[in-house]
Structure 1
Amino acid sequence: MSWFILILSGLMETAWATALAHSDGFRNVKMVVIFLVALVLSMVGLGFALRSLPVGTAYAVWTGIGAIGTATLGMVFFGDPVTAGRIVCLVLIVSGIVGLKLLG
């Protein structure tokens, strides 16, 4: 159950980072509300997951999911550049997360 909560928390990190980027310096109230709700859910979920998962592994997985999700959304929906180098870097992040899960 902790891994499921951690994955959802990582997805919430993607949501808050994306909402923050689209908040127009905290002037877009809808995006600010989404940012705040997702931020709280992300942190609370991480806190629950840390009850039974090692902090180093859990934090790395949480931030990795957030980074991969945010970068992917940027490339697919928001015009961020899609290059071979960026894709390779995302694959390396995924490899690190899988390695931490399997070895930790």
Structure 2
Amino acid sequence: MHKILIVDDEPNILLALEFLFKKEGYEVYIARDGEEAMGIIDEKHPNLVILDIMMPKVDGYEVCKHIKSLHGEIKIIFLTAKTKQSDIEKGKDLGADLYLTKPFSNKELIHKIKVLIT
């Protein structure tokens, strides 16, 4: 079973995505900030991390750097409200496999996840 970590400080997004991914048959972990996320990544080694950028303690860019330096095989999708081209380029430069902006389509997100990890 593929494991997905959702990292976001918005409870509604965490709940909605957790429900969606469990329904699709994924094992799901959630983190409310970047610090919590790095602990889960190191312990659980998910196949994919869905990562917000603007979060308390440690932002998504730092979490992405952590993943790429220690767990290069983990796929990363930034899912964020940051829509500026410079933010998108920074995310991709740090090694994200995909950069999606909020609001997003659940159907499109599931499709892109399947392409990345299956």
Q: Greater share of helix residues, 1 or 2?
A: 1
Which of the pair has more CA radius of gyration? 1
Fold shared per TM-score above 0.5: no
What TM-score comes out, normalization by structure 2 length? 0.29
Instruction: With a CA cutoff of 8 Å and minimum separation of 6, indicate the structure with the bigger relative contact order.
Output: 1
